[in-house]
Amino acid sequence: MPRALNSLVLIWLLLILLLAGTIAASFLFTGLSGLAISLGIAVAKSGLIYWRYMHLDEESPLLRVAALAAAAWLMILLVFLCVDQLTRNF
């Protein structure tokens, strides 16, 4: 098999294992610890997709920094959204 195909298959297998970890964590952990574990697994899965399937491993360092900045900005906006929702009076 070509090297690129091996890499894609390896990432796919890692994503399947992380999916199994997500399912297992949903049954084993509850409350805040379950949320933290699930979010950690989700960040790992999105990082793998971001890195390999969006071909960031083949790009220049400047483009990698720009992609990281875009992800950081998205996280900042999501945190502000959560804080806004948590502080509203219903």
Chain segment 20-61, per-residue pLDDT in tens: 999 999 999 988 898 899 999 999 999 999 888 888 888 899
Residues 37 and 80 placed together within one structural domain of the fold: no
Q: Domain check: are 40 and 3 in the same one?
A: yes
- Asked if residue 6 has pLDDT above 90, the reply is no
7: domain range? 1-58
Asked if 58 and 8 count as a contact pair (C-beta separation under 8 A), the reply is no
Same domain, 4 and 34: yes
Q: Are residues 46 and 63 in the same domain?
A: no
User: Tell me: the pLDDT tens digits for 64-77?
Assistant: 999 999 989 999 99
Please tell me the predicted confidence (pLDDT) of residue 23. 94
d(CA 13, CA 35): 23
Does residue 49 sit in the same domain as residue 6? yes
- Using the predicted structure, report yes or no on whether residue 1 has a pLDDT greater than 80: no
Task: Look at the chain and report how many structural domains it folds into.
Answer: 2
Q: Do 5 and 49 reside in the same domain of the chain?
A: yes
Residue 3 has pLDDT above 80, yes or no: no
* Contact status, residue 38 vs residue 19, Cβ threshold 8 Å: no
